[in-house]
Each structure stands twice: as C-alpha cells, then as structure tokens.
Structure 1
Amino acid sequence: MKRALAPFVTAASLAAICASAPVHAQSNVTLYGIVDTTIRYTTNENAAGNSKVQMTDGVLTGSRWGMYGLEDLGSGYQALFVLESGFSPDAGQSLQGNRLFGRKAYVGLQGEFGTVTLGRQFTVIHEVIASYDAMALANLAIVGFQGGNYTGGVRQDNMIKYAGRFGGLTIAAQHAFGEVAGSFSNSSSTGGSLTYAAGPFMVAGGYQIIRDTTTYYGVTVPVSDQKVWTLGGTYTAGPATIYLGYTNSNVDNAGYKNQAAYLGGKYAFNSAWSLIALGTYDHLKHGNDSGNRFTGSMMLDYAFSKRTDVYLEADYTTLTDAWRTLGGQSTFQTPFYGHGSRVGVMAGLRHKF
C-alpha cells in the first residue's frame, strides 16, 4: 500500500500542490441521469381509511439528471465537480425544495491522499447506513423510514467532506457550516465514518451530530441537537448478499429516542432477475410514551439491459403507541391519519442514461 499524504490536508495546501504541478489540459464532462416512475396503491390514505392510487417517483432511486466533470491536473491530481438535479417524473417538477441542483452541487480535488469536496452533498452518516441497508435507504419514504429524518438529513448545504481509501479501510469525515454570525457551531453538523472490506465481508460504522434542528420527520420540535450513531455490515456469497445494521438516534430537547435494527437480503437469480427483501424494527421513546414500528418490504426486479429495468414492490408498515402518535400528525413526512398500518403495492419502470 502506498503511503498517503496526511488525510485531513487543507484546501489551501491542496491548491499549493496543484499550482506547483504541470497542468495537463485533459478534461471531460459527462451528462447522466435516471428516470424512475411507479404506479402505487396504498391503504389508509385519509382519516376515513380510503385507499389511493397514484403515480410516484421510484422506490429505490429518485429521478435525477446531472453533470460530472473531471480535469487532469497532472502529478496524479484531478479537479472534479458534480451538479445534480432531482425532479418528479409524474409532473416534471424540481424536488428538494425546488432547487436547481438540489441533490448535489459540489467541487473538489482528488489524488492519492483521497478526495476533498465542498458544497451540497450527502452526509457521511447517510452514506454509511445505505451501505448495509438492502434497499440503500429507499427513495420511497414509507419504505426508507430510517433515511433522511432518522439521520437528520440525507444531504446538507455548506459542507466540506473528506474521503480516503487505504487498502481495505475507507475513512470519511464532514463538517457542514451553520453560517451563524457570532458562533461557529450553531446550526452546524459534524460527522465521520469508518468502513473495512475484506473478501466477502464488509463492516462499517459512523457518528454524526446535527446541531439546532427544529423538525423531526417533518414535525416541529424544540431546538435540539440530534446525535446519531450506527454500526452494520454485509456478507456476500455468490449471488446472495446479507445486510445487517443498527442505528441509534437521539433528539435531545425534543425527547425523541429511536433504536432501529434492520435485516435484509439480495439474491440475483441470473443476469436479469433479482430479489430484494428488507425488514426494519424500530423502537421509539418520547417522554413517558414508547412504541414500535415494523416495516417489511420486498421487490422483484427484471433488467432488460444494463440501463432499463422493471420491478414489482410490496410493503407493509405497522405503528403502535408513540410511533402511531408521531405518524398521526398532519406534518409527518407520510401521514398515517391516525391509522396504525399501511399496505403498499407498486409497479415501476426505470431507465438510466
């Protein structure tokens, strides 16, 4: 293994290194994207318990288009950028708060030392949990409950992030600036993760603190620090992969404490057919109240090619006590309208370009 530069080298020193290196004008920009659309049937979609049929975004992958650029700076260094926009294919509207590049917008430098990027990016805690979640923290909120809200945000603005791989070990760290006058820490976020892969095994874990958050699953809460830690891994044997993980989330002043354990599997029958199954058990404590959530989901996928596939998915979620109270609030990310369960079935078509 080659010896790397100090992992947390600063942006200023990187600039100096690249300035001293001979510049090779070799660059390219790639346009890419995914259009993923489903027709979904769900139960208990209003207070009367009526069902609903709707067209939605993809179950696993949100629709997006983006640009990726890479320039060779010489001496083993490259400059890069990513601009990625999310949209709803059913109506053609921009997502992520109607942002132009709401999914990703960052610039960076990479080399033997690793990669440093600056801008709007995925959090390291989200990335590490997705690595041992069978559905990679599904895009569909009802299936991916432990995604953005559980971790305090899928992605964050104003972030500087480092990632470096050294043999089988991958190190990642981030800090998202709160940009509050008079305070460096207010409304900021800091996190890190470690991943080790060897042969068929992968183990990983991470920690993140999100300071001064005011919402939880869309529900307004007292200003709180959200602290999340997680541990999990995968094991692959031939066409089968087993996923196992645990995540602990504590929103201090709001009084929400979650513990989620999830077990899943993926099996490739051949180059075209594959099956994903995932079960999540979550225990929520809020003040003197507590409750449980269970979500089970299964997805059968058929790939016409490397770019185009179709799939069928089914999921079931049940909520009790504190979870049912939280899910019954009108601002909850996917309201349950006072009901304790929901069944969902969908068929989808996805194309990558």
Structure 2
Amino acid sequence: MKKKALVAGLSSLAAISTAHAQSSVTLYGIFDEGFEYVTNVRTSGTTGKSLYQLDATSGLQGSRWGLRGAEDLGGGMKAIFVLENGFDGNTGRLGQGGALFGRQSYVGISSQFGTVTAGRQYDSVVDYVGIFGVSDQWASHRGAHPGDLDNLNNSARTNNSVKYASNTIGGFTFGGLYSFGGQAGDFTRNQVFSVGAAYNNGPLALGVGYLNVRNPNVSFFGNNPNGGGVTANNISPAANPVISGYASAHTYQVVAAGAAYTIGAATLGATYSNTRFLALGNTGASGPSPQRYTGDATFNNVEVNAKYQITPAWLVGVAYDYTKGNGADSTLATIHNDGVKYHQFALGTDYSLTKRTDVYIFGIYQKASGVDSTGQEAVASITGLTAAAVNHAALVRAGLRVKF
C-alpha cells in the first residue's frame, strides 16, 4: 500500500510538473529615466526659453511593465496573451491617456501556420518598417520623424483589431491587421487596416508596410481613454502642428519602406514614408477644420542613419531626416499653405553596464520652414514636446535604462 501511495504521489507530482512546464506567465518591464535640456520652449507670455527637466516617458524605450503568457494546447498550438502598461515614473501616472494596458492588450493562438491575435495592437507599418528608424534604436521617441507624422514610432495604437503574423520562411515574414469600425450601417467608418512584409537574412534586412485609417481623428489619433483626436491632449495644435490642422481628413494613409545593411561592426539604414491626409473637410465624421482645408495633404519623409558597435557594450549612432509637406488648399483667403520642410539631425551613444542596465546620451536638432498644418509659419516640433516658439530647437538627453 505504501509503495502504491508513493507511486501515485510521484505520478501526481509529475503531472503537475508537466502542466507547469507547458504554460508560463512572465512579468517584465523597463524603467527609463533621463535628464533633458531643451531650447526655444514655448511658454505663456514669453518665447524662446530653455527647459531643464526629468523625464521617464521618452527614453530609449518608454517606461512600462507587462505580463506575457503562453499555454501549450498540443499539436504545435499555443494560447498566448500580452498585457502591457505604460507609465510616468516621475509621477506614477498611467501613460497612453490613462489606459491601464495602453501599450498593448491582446490574446490569440500561435501555430505552425502563424499567429492570430485580437485586442489593442501595433499596425504593420510599425511592425515591419519602424524597426529601421533610429527612434526604435538609440534616439528614443524624441528622434521620431516630426510629430511622428507617419506613426513609425507607434504614437497611435489600434483598438478592436484582429492581426495575423506569419512564421519566418526563408528569412521572409508577412502579416496584416484589421480594426472593426463598430458603426452600425456604415461598414467602413472608423475602420483601420494594414499589411506588411519583411526580409532578414545575413547582412541585409528589408521591410515594407501600408496603413489605411478611416476617420483618423476619431479612430486612430483619439483612441486613448482621454483622447479626442489630433486637436486634443498630447496631440494638440501646440504639441503637434505638423498634422493637427488635418483633423478633418476622411482617410489617413501611410506607405513606408525600410532597409539596413551590416558591414562588420557598422550598420547603414534608411526609411522612406509617404503620408497622406485624404479628403480634407470631412468635419461631420472626422474632426474640425478651422482652416477650411479641402482636397489632400501629402508628406514625404526620408531618413538615413548609421551606427557603429565600438565594442560589444558601446554603440554610437548618427542620423539625418528630411520631411517635405505639400500643404493643402483652403477656402479661406487668409490661409496660404504652400507646404513645409523639416530638417532633423540626431547623434547619440549607448553603453551597456550589464545585460539589463545601460546609460546613454543623445542630441537632436530640428529646423522648420514654410507653413505648417495650422496655417501658421512653421516652428520646430520635436516629437513628444510642445512645439517650439521659433523655427528651430535642440534637445540633449542623458539617461539610465533598467530592464527586468
């Protein structure tokens, strides 16, 4: 009897151990704290002042914590989920407009045929092209293209979405996303869809992506809990004059491509994006248009970058970004939007103290010219900062990043 009891007990332990090995939940996170110096900051009653500040939201990676889980379903299938929260480490406030899991929140199934997930997720331009920009590497959110106009740095997530991602086949991957608009009687209103593909094999990496958003001011830029589109909160005219004047667009469209080539310790990279705000003046379903814009507004953006791994722990990088916008027609005689140009330069270095802790410093300089989306003389608009008081601005950030 004792032997039988012992055998039964060992069998039970083995079953528990097997079940535990087949499922897992991981707690992970990043705390990125930095000191910033910014020039030509717009302030009430004055212009062109310098700013010194601590910031824990716009480092090499935004501060976050999350839960990631998987359970083996057998036959090569797994149930998976991700819940990821963004936060401001200096105040304890939630990020992404107050969403509890505002960075990502999805559940799905992975198998030999790929992965299908549903929830709040990243679009295909972010997945397949964003990785080639320096804002995803060593220059942080601050190094994104002006106002993150093409969303390569993932300023806007996609709610209510279903997503497919293939497994890697000979270095190729591909996928797509669709977000249901949820409007009775109007199938396309507020919908979002995107597709993308990538190739990564040896020294060469390539990526392409397409994003199409209907009524973007509501369905995309305003999809955080406290969001109201490009004319509210973090993407207000003062914070993002690059695109805020185009809130009335019926459709927001991005076509983007990226590439990188590694030669020894050096990597050369580039991105291109064509961003269009189509059918401006759709004030009933999309957003306001105090500038009375009609037709379309188009931006073309090119980034070239390079990085060099001096040692396995020490990286240096440099980048130049050029943005050209063609402006938009207006029915107001006082608005003459002939277009805008932005030149942006970035230089940075990152040093790993351990596998999970690194220190870094980078600088960004931006200069604008022409007329921005608000119909005013363009001012510098470094992503994540209130627009500058004049047409040029600079930022220097030194920080510490800890991963867990």
Q: Secondary structure at the match of 2:69?
A: strand
| Distance in 2, Cα, partners of 1:138 & 1:247 | 20
| Distance in 2, Cα, partners of 1:326 & 1:55 | 30
The equivalent of 2:40 in structure 1 is: 44
Which of 342, 346, 349 is residue 393 of structure 2 equivalent to?
342
The equivalent of 1:259 in structure 2 is: 300
| Distance in 1, Cα, partners of 2:213 & 2:384 | 19
The equivalent of 2:104 in structure 1 is: 104
* Aligned amino acid, residue 295 of structure 1: Q
* Aligned amino acid, residue 299 of structure 1: G
Matched, 1:185 2:188: yes
1:136/1:147 CA distance change after superposition, 3 Å? farther
Which of 339, 350, 356 is residue 290 of structure 1 equivalent to?
339
* Aligned amino acid, residue 54 of structure 1: Q
Q: Secondary structure at the match of 1:292?
A: strand
1:329/1:38 CA distance change after superposition, 3 Å? closer
* Aligned amino acid, residue 157 of structure 2: R
> Could you tell me the TM-score, scaled by structure 2's length?
0.77
Task: Out of 33-42 and 53-62, give the one that drifted further.
Answer: 53-62
Matched, 1:117 2:117: yes
* Aligned amino acid, residue 248 of structure 1: N
The alpha carbon displacement at 1:148 in A equals 4.8
Task: Out of 146-155 and 174-183, give the one that drifted further.
Answer: 146-155
Which of 235, 238, 248 is residue 261 of structure 2 equivalent to?
235
* Aligned amino acid, residue 236 of structure 1: T
Superposed, 1:34-183 pairs within 5 Å as 34-46=30-42, 47-56=46-55, 57-136=57-136, 140-145=140-145, 148-151=148-151, 154-164=156-166, 165-183=168-186
The alpha carbon displacement at 1:141 in A equals 4.6
Matched, 1:194 2:197: yes
Indicate if the aligned counterparts of 1:232 and 1:246 stay in contact, CA closer than 8 A.
yes
User: How big is the alpha-carbon RMSD for the aligned residues of Structure 1 and Structure 2?
Assistant: 2.3
| Distance in 2, Cα, partners of 1:139 & 1:346 | 9
The alpha carbon displacement at 1:222 in A equals 1.2
| Distance in 2, Cα, partners of 1:117 & 1:99 | 20
Indicate if the aligned counterparts of 1:327 and 1:335 stay in contact, CA closer than 8 A.
no
> Could you tell me the TM-score, scaled by structure 1's length?
0.87
The alpha carbon displacement at 1:147 in A equals 7.1
Gaps of 5+ in 1: 1-22
The alpha carbon displacement at 1:202 in A equals 1.2
Superposed, 1:297-336 pairs within 5 Å as 297-323=346-372, 325=376, 328=379, 334-336=385-387
1:335/1:282 CA distance change after superposition, 3 Å? same
The alpha carbon displacement at 1:201 in A equals 0.6
| Distance in 2, Cα, partners of 1:241 & 1:138 | 13
| Distance in 1, Cα, partners of 2:23 & 2:360 | 37
Which of 315, 320, 336 is residue 274 of structure 1 equivalent to?
315
1:137/1:309 CA distance change after superposition, 3 Å? closer
1:146/1:137 CA distance change after superposition, 3 Å? farther
1:229/1:321 CA distance change after superposition, 3 Å? same
Task: Out of 267-276 and 135-144, give the one that drifted further.
Answer: 135-144
Matched, 1:29 2:25: yes
The alpha carbon displacement at 1:336 in A equals 2.7
CA deviations on 1:60-93 (whole Å, 9 max, x unpaired) are 2000000000101111111100000000111111
Gaps of 5+ in 2: 1-17, 218-228, 237-243, 281-295, 329-336
Task: Out of 208-217 and 115-124, give the one that drifted further.
Answer: 208-217
The structure in which a higher percent of residues are helix is 2
The alpha carbon displacement at 1:241 in A equals 1.1
The alpha carbon displacement at 1:190 in A equals 0.6
Indicate if the aligned counterparts of 2:78 and 2:111 stay in contact, CA closer than 8 A.
yes
- List 4+ stretches of structure 1 deviating above 6 A: none
Indicate if the aligned counterparts of 2:147 and 2:384 stay in contact, CA closer than 8 A.
no
Q: Secondary structure at the match of 1:126?
A: helix
The structure in which a higher percent of residues are strand is 1
Task: Out of 271-280 and 128-137, give the one that drifted further.
Answer: 128-137
| Distance in 1, Cα, partners of 2:72 & 2:201 | 30
| Distance in 2, Cα, partners of 1:282 & 1:306 | 36
Indicate if the aligned counterparts of 1:135 and 1:276 stay in contact, CA closer than 8 A.
no
Indicate if the aligned counterparts of 1:293 and 1:323 stay in contact, CA closer than 8 A.
no
Task: Out of 65-74 and 52-61, give the one that drifted further.
Answer: 52-61
* Aligned amino acid, residue 163 of structure 1: A
CA deviations on 1:199-248 (whole Å, 9 max, x unpaired) are 21111111110111225554252142011101221101222111111000
| Distance in 1, Cα, partners of 2:137 & 2:192 | 20
The alpha carbon displacement at 1:45 in A equals 0.7
Report how many aligned residue pairs link the two structures: 330
The equivalent of 1:249 in structure 2 is: 275
| Distance in 2, Cα, partners of 1:204 & 1:147 | 22
1:139/1:159 CA distance change after superposition, 3 Å? farther
Indicate if the aligned counterparts of 2:197 and 2:208 stay in contact, CA closer than 8 A.
yes
The alpha carbon displacement at 1:138 in A equals 7.4
| Distance in 2, Cα, partners of 1:174 & 1:114 | 13
Report the structure number with the largest CA radius of gyration. 2
